[in-house]
């Protein structure tokens, strides 16, 4: 469930960086980072999900949204 409002004014698919959490009711809640600029790497390093948004798509708080978990690679040990 989206915990933000966003409109993709562009003409392409965007992937927003965010954090998923479970609320008291057991729902998955998606929060966005404020700065989605492509030059900001701190949000991608802290993100645990990507939220795809199609061109012209609008999401408001409470809408169901697709999330792509970034933890699919598991823990990397170096």
> Residue 44: what pLDDT?
82
Residue 78 within any structural domain of the chain: no
Instruction: Provide the domain limits for residue 50.
Output: 6-71
Strands 6-7 and 58-59: antiparallel
Tokens of 49: 């999900």
pLDDT digits (tens, 9 = 90+) for 36-60: 888 888 888 889 999 999 999 999 9
The residues that bridge with 59 in the sheet, in sequence order, are 6
Residue 77 lies in a domain: no
* pTM, 2 dp: 0.82
Q: Does any domain span residue 10?
A: yes
In a domain, 57, yes or no: yes
Q: Specify the number of domains making up the chain.
A: 1
């Amino acid at each position: 469930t989206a915990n933000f409002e966003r409109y993709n004014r562009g003409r392409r698919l965007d992937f927003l960086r965010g954090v998923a959490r479970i609320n008291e009711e057991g729902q998955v809640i998606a929060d966005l980072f404020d700065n989605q600029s492509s030059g900001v790497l701190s949000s991608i390093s802290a993100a645990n999900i990507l939220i795809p948004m199609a061109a012209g798509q609008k999401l408001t708080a409470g809408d169901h949204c697709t999330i792509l978990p970034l933890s699919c690679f598991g823990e990397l040990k170096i």
